[in-house]
Amino acid sequence: MSKPDYTRVLLKVSGEALAGDQSYGIEPRFLDDVARQIVDVARMGVQVAIVIGGGNIFRGMAVAAKGGDRVIGDHMGMLGTVINSLALGDAIRRAGGRSHVFSSVTMPSIADTFTQRGAIAALEGGAVVICAGGTGNPFFTTDTAAALKAIELRCDVLLKGTKVDGVYSADPAKDPSAERFETISHEEVIARDLRVMDTAAFALARDNSLPIVVYALSAREGLAGVLDGSAPSTRVG
């Protein structure tokens, strides 16, 4: 396998990716598969930081839609990301890698509080860094946390796994003539009104010239294949 061009990457893992076929919680088979792919990339010498979602446990908006308080719902969602982060950190260790969980929601008996210097030191020391707790604030998403941490940790790229293998000119599920872009600029994504990430996350990436690589979570070549270019993807930026 050829050496990837990236020194340090930020991988956004959605909560759904850990739930697998279930609608709720963590499916051990999917958790172990994600962990194995991450360890493979770390072994190639790439520094890996991760932000995990919590949609497989709680979403603040869903709590609010049922009459609950949005801020409390978001706190519940952020705690869900901590659960996922602890599970992934442990699975990475079982897969033979080293992991270090930091949380943007302070809970020192469970995880170190996120700081830029602490996380960069852990990355430079060869650990896979997992950033739990999103941004630490309600009304944000883990996509925004992923863009924020990627910029803060000076990552070369934000890797966003989705159900499709890149950014298309139209929805490929509805329009058979839709074509996948190999590369596209942040500006063109906005001009064509294509959805890559939520608006706040995308604006942060654009304003800080952070490239985003969109790929399929189901890519046969795995995450290593996304980095060495053998798996299809779209690079934004």
Interface with ligand UDP (CB under 6 A): 14-16, 53-55, 59-61, 73-74, 77-78, 80-81, 134-135, 137-138, 140-143, 145
CB of 131 to ligand UDP, least distance (A): 10
CB of 192 to ligand UDP, least distance (A): 24
- The alpha carbons of the chain give a radius of gyration, in whole angstroms, of 17
Query: 37 or 142: whose CB is closer to ligand UDP?
Result: 142
Query: How far apart are the C-alpha atoms of 204 and 206, rounded to whole Å?
Result: 6
Nearest residue to the partner ligand UDP, using Cβ: 53
CA-closest candidate to residue 98, choices 130, 74, 67, 72: 130
Q: What angle do CA 117, 36, 17 make, to 5 degrees?
A: 85
CB of 91 to ligand UDP, least distance (A): 17
CB of 54 to ligand UDP, least distance (A): 3
Query: How far apart are the C-alpha atoms of 219 and 194, rounded to whole Å?
Result: 22
CB of 104 to ligand UDP, least distance (A): 7
CB 18 within 8 A of CB 12: no
Distance in angstroms between the alpha carbons of the first and the last residue of the chain: 25
